[in-house]
Amino acid sequence: MEQRCGSGQFDSHPRLREGRTQRNSQFSADRFWGVTKPRLPWQKPFVASRRIPLPAFSEQLLAAYGPQGWWPLLEYRGSNPTLTGRLTGYHPGDYSFPRTEAQRFEICCGAILTQNTAWPNVEKALQALAERGLLAPREILVVDEECLQQTIRPSGYFRAKARKLRAFCEFFLRLSGRPPSREQLLQVWGVGPETADSILLYAYAQTEMVIDAYTLRVLRHHGYQRSQPSYAAAKTYCERKLPRSLHGYQEFHALMVEHAKRLRVAASPRVPSG
């Protein structure tokens, strides 16, 4: 595909697939299907029971919002169960992704590009990379630096992120399909703990808890943390409280993001329409 630089249906909610669920996981997603409906953007966030164990809280999140279907992918037409943000790309209840090396690489790129920006901006950058034939490690390594920077400009900090993408592409190619360790990822320039854990959890199906600003906001809002913990401390806390489960960790992280967004919207003053 030619590399160019310059100006650059809503599917029905899919049925949850029956599959293996890890024993003792609180995230048996299919048990909630047909019992609860995802809340719409204008609805308030659900009111959680106060001072309940974190596993019970995570079950309430799942019951209120449903499986989230993370990590979203550009070419997948699955619907977004919460209807907040992008309408397609999500795969609720289907944990078989990524299915190809191309999807794996896209997730890794998204995890890097989402640093310090909102996901819609990342989608614009990923879409631009795909349209210019650059959503592949070898293409990113050979493309002109200015072209790469302008392509990912919507994600912000585009000069630094272009360098981060190149550093990761070299690392990705050396893996030759093997899953990396957390320690190896953290040695890549521009990859910190949150990015490394996101890559492991979603791109390589490794059971690593992901903590982000949304997670910290919810933990504090509901009294699980009294002060602002470090990333490592919050990660250790959640891992100690929740059953170790790949699907559970994926849903927990995504649900915490969704709940935090709704808490923020509920706290914002409503602007009268018309």
Q: Which pLDDT score, from 0 to 100, does residue 17 have?
A: 33
What is the spatial distance between Cα 72 and Cα 168, in angstroms, rounded to a whole number? 20
Answer positive or negative: Cα dihedral of 122, 127, 130, 132: negative
pLDDT-derived band at 11 (thresholds 50, 70, 90) equals very low
Share above pLDDT 90 across residues of the chain, in percent, rounded to a whole number: 68
Q: Which pLDDT score, from 0 to 100, does residue 19 have?
A: 34
What are the pLDDT digits (tens) for 56-95? Answer: 999 999 998 999 999 999 999 887 877 666 667 999 999 9
- CA angle centred on 83, ends 82 and 85, rounded to 5°: 110
pLDDT-derived band at 43 (thresholds 50, 70, 90) equals low
What is the spatial distance between Cα 246 and Cα 110, in angstroms, rounded to a whole number? 20
Q: Rounded to the nearest 5°, which phi and psi values hold at 44?
A: -70, 155
Q: Which pLDDT score, from 0 to 100, does residue 267 have?
A: 59
pLDDT above 50 for 214: yes
Q: Which pLDDT score, from 0 to 100, does residue 219 have?
A: 94
What residue spans define the domains of the chain? 26-97+209-266, 99-206
What are the pLDDT digits (tens) for 93-147? Answer: 999 999 999 999 999 999 999 999 988 899 999 999 999 999 999 999 999 999 9
pLDDT-derived band at 35 (thresholds 50, 70, 90) equals very low
What is the spatial distance between Cα 117 and Cα 3, in angstroms, rounded to a whole number? 25
Q: Which pLDDT score, from 0 to 100, does residue 22 have?
A: 35
pLDDT-derived band at 5 (thresholds 50, 70, 90) equals low
Residue predicted with more confidence, 27 or 84: 84
Residue predicted with more confidence, 178 or 271: 178
Report pTM. Answer: 0.83
pLDDT above 50 for 15: no
Q: Which pLDDT score, from 0 to 100, does residue 24 have?
A: 36
CATH code linked to domain 99-206: 1.10.340.30
Q: Name the 3-class secondary structure at 15.
A: coil
Q: Which residues pair with 200 in a beta bridge?
A: none
* Spatial CA neighbour of 186 closest among 205, 154, 159, 208: 208
Distances (CA, A) of 212 to 70, 137, 167, 260: 15, 26, 23, 11
Average pLDDT of the chain, as a whole number: 83
**At 194, which amino acid appears?**
E
Q: Rounded to the nearest 5°, which phi and psi values hold at 255?
A: -70, -35
pLDDT above 90 for 158: yes
Q: Name the 3-class secondary structure at 197.
A: helix
What is the spatial distance between Cα 185 and Cα 193, in angstroms, rounded to a whole number? 9
- CA angle centred on 16, ends 242 and 89, rounded to 5°: 90
What are the pLDDT digits (tens) for 240-258? Answer: 999 999 999 999 999 999 9
Contact 229, 223 (CB under 8 A): no
